[in-house]
Structure 1
Amino acid sequence: MIVKEITRILEELAPLSHAEDFDNVGLLVGDKDQKVNGVLVTLDTLENVVDEAIAKKCNLIVSFHPIVFTGLKKITGADYVQRVVIKAIQNHIAIYSMHTALDNSNRGVNAKICEVLGIKDPKILIPKKGTLKKMVTYVPKADAHRLRDALFAAGAGEIGNYSNCSFTIDGTGTYRAGEKANPTKGETGKTHFEDEIQINIVFSKTHQSEIVKTLLENHPYEEVAYEIYTLDNTDANIGMGMIGNLVKPINEIEFLYQLKEKMNVSVIRHSELLHKKVQKIAVLGGSGAFAIDTAKALGADVFVSADIKYHEFYKADKSMVIADVGHYETEQFTKNLLVDYLTKKIPNFAIHLSESKTNPIKYL
């Protein structure tokens, strides 16, 4: 297999179009057409991880966090980012990052936390905006069924657990073909009236290029009229964080002890305890303070995340408990998730779980 074939598989789990605008995801170092001998999966790409990849004969590193986050103006080895890039290039090792694309996947970082904590039937906490598009196009009645089926096959018309969704309106289209035109129907220089169907169809922006390509290839007209809109509607399967319920309510201090054990942490920073039983749990891997108000509004008893600042703990406001278990700790299971996913997708291929320690924070 080559690099782009493996990254295509990863993008089925976490499309890069779902990443946040500030992020730097995808292939960061290397040649997309390079043959892959082995894959090393890690949370961070540091020098010791590149050394591990060399030792294990892996020439593709799949990393959760991007080693290159902002633009590099020079590569001289002056800092750890530059040294990693230099070493990777010298050893023909490609580096691919997933980060917020995987954060926004309903099978990603937060789904894994829910699995570890025993949270049942979790739903997305903050659905991502701008992921749904709508296409409107116009086609002769005789061709509508064939075109609609082609668009469905390309991924259009999927809403939640439903597929082949569309809406049509009968109408009359008009056009006059110019001298250089080759009209499918009508005559050059004369205004033509055609009984048409207006097709309205929703799709994920991930599929936009394929859907437009399908439209142009399957529409009978020489010039195809269509419009594409970004919808304010959100996809309930794409977004940050998750919220769900424990099997049964438990005492909040008991939950915190379970949290400490299951997340394998030595300390938990938390807001004031409310001395009640808890059941509805919200989680968000990594820096999650921006989701506190949403978790509270949705009735979470506990919000589990990381990088909560001093004054942000006050936002719990005696209505829920905020539990900060650490940034690395909330994301630690991500590389296991990716190894399991890739192993199922491409069995009998060399997929390695990195053994390198990359947590920059130590506790005394």
Structure 2
Amino acid sequence: MVYLIQDIIGFLESYAPKHYQESYDNSGLITGNAKDEVKGVICALDMTEEVVEEAIQMGCNLVIAHHPIVFKGIKQLTGKNYVERTVIKAIKNDIALYAIHTNLDNVQMGVNHKIARQLKLQQPKILAPKKQLLFKLETFIPFNQSEEVLEALFEAGAGKIGEYSGCSFLTKGNGTFIPSEKANPTLGQKGKAEKVSEEKIEVMFPSYLKNKILQTLKKVHPYEEVAYYLFQLENENQEVGSGMVGDLEKGMKGKEFLAYLKKAMNLQVVKHTALLEKPIKRVAVCGGAGIFLLQSAKNSGADVFITADIKYHEFFDADNQIVICDIGHYESEIYTKELLVEILSQNFTNIALYLTKIVTNPITYI
């Protein structure tokens, strides 16, 4: 079967919708034509000249990386820095560059879940769920047609709450209306008051599906004029947010845990605050720069918080309440490329998928 680049992109953005990326981010297709046929895919943490060259040598025309090569606007392409050189090389050689960054950080089965799996955490969950990412739809359907409309809304993505699907709330009542002379009523007659036995349907859905849900409603609703209410909810979306927290199978003493961490994440060094007297059982994680989640980690009851890019004075904020471990940005997210291969290989069985062999870490240790 032939796949186009847009097929891969469509799948990835159903897995980690671009709507969930942070405002500063630049996830998505950076170079390339989405309608080109996929010849091969290389998965990487970073987009660099070396990774693009690797794609050329491997006969691949799509690089999927966690970190975008372009964060800010580019006004010139003269090759004066590594960003411009990478983009130029990709364009010259028809290599598509696709980034899946903070949107993959923020979904439940994303970057932080992969870290949790590396550490074998039990029942991991989002550390800091995001708010205002859910809508509630209320609409009114003739009683004998409500099931058909409800099924269509479910098919479009409404009614999913955690591990439950088909979630709704139904209320029976009567709807009244008077069709004008210009109306084309499904029920009743022009100019005459009508009372219809109806069900009010209430369903929740993620905000990025808003247009799809409303289009579906208007397509399948039997009435000429569709009455509905749409509410943005303050509820936390437990499936979208920053970081992750879970428990080890058994508690460990501080030094024992540090040895376990180094082995599980293949680390050379760990920068950490003072070890506490109590054993480490609950573990909070955030790939990349995650110190903004320190208070959330404390609130979760975590004994240790594992992240990267912590500044000197930020280590003081542990305040003898939690152990902070800085394992390095590259080291915290390197398994993301394996995650990408995992999710793609399960859904695209006959495309060439590769893990980059290039070590893109700009930091070395002695």
Which residue in the other structure is 1:213 paired with? 215
> Is 2:264 the counterpart of 1:262?
yes
- The answer as to 2:325 corresponding to 1:323 is yes
Residue number among 137, 140, 143 corresponding to 1:138 in the alignment? 140
Identity among equivalent pairs (%): 48
Q: Residue in 1 aligned with 2:112? A: 110
Q: Secondary structure at the residue paired with 2:325?
A: strand
Summarize deviations over 1:299-358 as a string: whole Å, max 9, x none. 111100001112211221111100000011100111011112212221231001111121
Alignment CA distance shift 1:189-1:85 (3 Å): farther
1:159 aligns with 2:161: yes
- The letter for the 1-side match of 2:355 is L
Q: Select which of 282, 293, 297 maps to 2:299.
A: 297
2:126 to 121, 124, 130: 124
- TM superposition shift of 1:168: 2.1
SS in 2 for 1:360: coil
Equivalent in 84, 87, 90 of residue 85 of structure 1: 87
Give the alignment's TM-score, normalised by structure 2: 0.94
Q: Does structure 1 residue 236 correspond to structure 2 residue 238?
A: yes
In 2: Cα distance, 1:36 partner to 1:229 partner: 41
Instruction: Pick one of 169, 174, 188 that aligns with 2:171.
Output: 169
Determine which of 28, 35, 51 is the counterpart of 1:26: 28
Rounded Cα–Cα distance in structure 1 between residues aligned with 2:338 and 2:136: 36
Shift of 1:73: 2.4
**Cα distance in 1 for residues equivalent to 2:246 and 2:283:** 6
- The residue aligned with 2:341 is 339
Counterpart amino acid of residue 183 in structure 2: A
* Structure 2 counterpart of 1:73, from 67, 71, 75: 75
- How many pairs were matched up? 364
**Alpha-carbon distance change, 86 to 191 in structure 1, aligned in 2, over 3 angstroms:** farther
CA distance in 1, matches of 2:314, 2:194: 65
Secondary structure in 2 aligned to 1:102?
A: helix
| Residues 26-61 of structure 1: CA deviation (Å, up to 9, x unaligned) | 112111111110001111111111111111111111
CA distance in structure 2 between the aligned counterparts of 1:284 and 1:247, rounded to whole angstroms: 20
1:49 alignment partner in structure 2? 51
Q: Is the 8 A contact 1:293 1:315 kept in 2?
A: no
Cα distance in 2 for partners of 1:163, 1:279 equals 32
For residue 248 of structure 1, what is the aligned residue in structure 2? Answer: 250
Answering whether residue 354 of structure 2 is matched by residue 352 of structure 1, we say: yes
Q: Is the 8 A contact 1:295 1:303 kept in 2?
A: yes
Of 171-180 and 87-96, the range deviating more from structure 2? 171-180
Shifted more, 141-150 versus 287-296: the winner is 141-150
Take 1:263 and 1:149, find their aligned partners in 2: how far apart are those partners? 44
Amino acid in the other structure paired with 2:275: L
- Contact 1:64/1:99 (8 A) holds in 2: yes
Look up the SS of the partner of 2:126 in the other structure: strand
Query: Within 1, Cα distance between the matches of 2:283 and 2:144?
Result: 53
Give 3-state SS (helix, strand or coil) of 1:8's partner: helix
Amino acid corresponding to residue 295 of structure 1 in structure 2: A
| Aligned counterpart for 2:5 among listed residues 3, 6, 19 | 3
Task: Give CA-to-partner distance per residue, 1:63-91, whole Å, 9 cap, x none.
Answer: 10111112222323222222222221111
Please, which runs of 5 or more residues in structure 2 have no aligned partner?
none
Residue 108 of structure 1: CA displacement?
Answer: 1.4
Q: Distance in 2 between matches of 1:94 and 1:11?
A: 16
TM-score by length of 1: 0.95
3-state SS of the aligned residue for 2:236? Answer: coil
CA–CA distance in 1 between the matches of 2:188 and 2:73? 55
Give, in angstroms, the shift of residue 189 of structure 1: 4.1
Measure how far apart 1:124 and its partner are: 0.9
